[in-house]
A and B are shown apart, each in its own frame.
Chain A
Amino acid sequence: MKVLSNKIENIVEEQLYGLQSSNSDIEVRFDPNFIIRKKSKNKTKVILISGGGSGHEPLHTGFVGYGMLDGACPGGVFSSPSPIQIFECAKKLNNGCGIIFIVKNYAGDIMNFQMATEMLSLEGIKSQHLVVDDDIATAIGAPTNQRRGIAATVIVEKIIGAAAELNYSFEECLALGKKIITGARSFGVALSACTMYTTGESNFKLEENKIELGVGIHGESGIEKVDLMPVDEITDVLITKILSDKDYKRTFNSWSFKANKWIGNSLISKKFKENDEFIILVNGLGGTPLSELYLVYRKLNEICKKKHIIIKRNLIGSYATSLDTKGFSISLIKSDDEIIKLWDKKVKTIGLNW
């Protein structure tokens, strides 16, 4: 597949230059690469930083701004950023009120953010992790903490972003984050694999009449290949999987500033029930037209009504992409009044703006 690029080695850097020269509300730093909000008026808010591989835009660099992220660290395409990037970004933004890293659950991301937290701790800067693991498709089960973090990360960043703007405390933000994360479930499907800059081709091939269920956002293959079906049926398959996902327990590590080490905490996501309320995200993976996402939502809405799933808010569009993958994911994030209130709050970023 054709892509737009100059020299492959410079892709990320050049994209960041493009970002910098087009947007006056954010500051782009190079070597190490990171993006920060320009002067935030609120000097006593909790700082929110996220990051991950490039190639998922607008996630995360497109979400830096009022009401969402204070900083984002882009790594190479589909590669985690280095601890140095994260460390420098955090140091620049540090205002003494605590830094929360929103980390998608991948080995690379976790390790790099952990190292950054340790480095910050050595300098007396307090930081903590919120690990997002909404992808129920990830094959290996609970004991090895393998569920990937995908589209729900957008929701997490929005809600916590709003909370931070409202001066929620460090602990309150973390508690809120855990609440959202344990109520988030996603499942994706691809019609085609993305074109990798490194090889010039896709990592896996999908025939004309096949689709891949349970894809992530890094161009890797999913869990099952099935025949192409009408979009209504695909939507049905996805939402059914999400609604039938059982209680899920996993352990994540939190940093103990005092003890200077990582301590495991158990988190449980309860199975969704009838009459639960949700924010629903129909997320395009980059290569699917917006119009097709509305087809998905049409059926999704119908099914949810039938199953007494209450949709409080929806978001439809390409927010957590995977380069040019044709496909989409459905995310259900359990909501309550607090979460809806925060969702509705003003946000001013490239990716979300209201």
Chain B
Amino acid sequence: MNIEVIKANHIIKWFIEAAKSMNANKEYLTQLDSDIGDADHGFNMVRGFNKVYNRTNEFLLQENLGILTKDIAMTLLSSIGGAAGPLYGSFFLEFSKKLDKKTTLNLSEFSEVFELGTIAVEHRGNATFGDKTLIDVLVPASEALKKAVKNKKTLAEGINLMAKEAELGMNATIPLIAKKGRASYLGVRSVGYKDPGAASCYFLLLALKETMTQL
């Protein structure tokens, strides 16, 4: 991949990939969520991302990244439901705040709004790294992006590194004790299970990587 900036159509492709991924992994996410939750995560993510997918033609007309990502954020917010809705919604809402009138994002800019999105999720969810949530994926992903910027990597390299760290972060949730959400009611019984939110977050970020690789 040679492109150095993300544009609106890339974002849309990202969400198409993501929707496919959520559908393919619906049972898996449901399984993870019945181990340490109430079995609705898979359905919720599919519902939300399908809603975004169904608006693809509409979105394709939007070049303003700020408006596009805000629209996506509100769609996710209104259709995912559960705890995941506000978290993914907040991520992309904060993401969108700095992007008004922008039509391209280089690695550095992407890294910055990604970090802001991550912080917004910490804020909304009142959770931090180590609580066994999707934040355990977002934080390492964000740090990988920042490091890639510092080391002057290309956009593709940066996103690859981000996906790698995201996967490690997701797997690192397995031995943790859940501190937030339904899993937290299980206390130490939540140890040994992968967090479903972390898994869906990884799938989302992986979808971005696959999108960029296919370009």
Quick check: B125 and A111 within 8 Å, CB to CB? yes
Question: Size range of the interface on B?
Answer: 35 or more
B:148-204 near A, CB below 8 Å: 179-182, 184-187, 189
Quick check: B40 and A77 within 8 Å, CB to CB? yes
Given contacts A140-B184, A140-B185, contact A82 B77 (CB under 8 A): yes
Quick check: A76 and B81 within 8 Å, CB to CB? yes
- Rounded to whole Å, the gap between the CB of A320 and the closest CB of chain B is 15
- List, in ascending order, chain A residues with CB within 8 A of B179's CB: 140, 144
- A-B pairs under 8 A by CB, number: 112
A245 CB within 8 Å of chain B:
no
B87 CB within 8 Å of chain A:
yes
Quick check: A115 and B182 within 8 Å, CB to CB? no
- What separation, in Å, do the CA atoms of A343 and B13 have in the docked complex? 56
- List, in ascending order, chain B residues with CB within 8 A of A9's CB: 43, 47
Tally chain A residues at the interface, Cβ within 8 Å: 37
- What separation, in Å, do the CA atoms of A196 and B78 have in the docked complex? 23
Query: A57-65, A155-163, A217-225, A275-283: which one contacts chain B?
Result: A217-225
- Rounded to whole Å, the gap between the CB of A14 and the closest CB of chain B is 15
B42 CB within 8 Å of chain A:
yes
A75 CB within 8 Å of chain B:
yes
B:107-137 near A, CB below 8 Å: 124-125
- What separation, in Å, do the CA atoms of A107 and B182 have in the docked complex? 8
- List, in ascending order, chain B residues with CB within 8 A of A53's CB: 40, 82
B30 CB within 8 Å of chain A:
yes
Quick check: B43 and A76 within 8 Å, CB to CB? yes
- List, in ascending order, chain B residues with CB within 8 A of A84's CB: 74, 77-78
Digitize B40-69: 1 where CB-to-A-CB distance is under 8 Å, 0 elsewhere.
Answer: 101110010000000000000000000000
B140 CB within 8 Å of chain A:
no
Quick check: B38 and A139 within 8 Å, CB to CB? no
Quick check: A198 and B87 within 8 Å, CB to CB? no
A21 CB within 8 Å of chain B:
no
B24 CB within 8 Å of chain A:
no
Known: A80-B81, A84-B77, A196-B39. 7 other contacts (CB 8 A): A8-B43, A76-B40, A78-B38, A82-B78, A108-B83, A108-B181, A111-B86
User: 6 tightest A-B contacts by CB?
Assistant: A108-B83, A79-B82, A84-B78, A111-B86, A79-B81, A218-B38
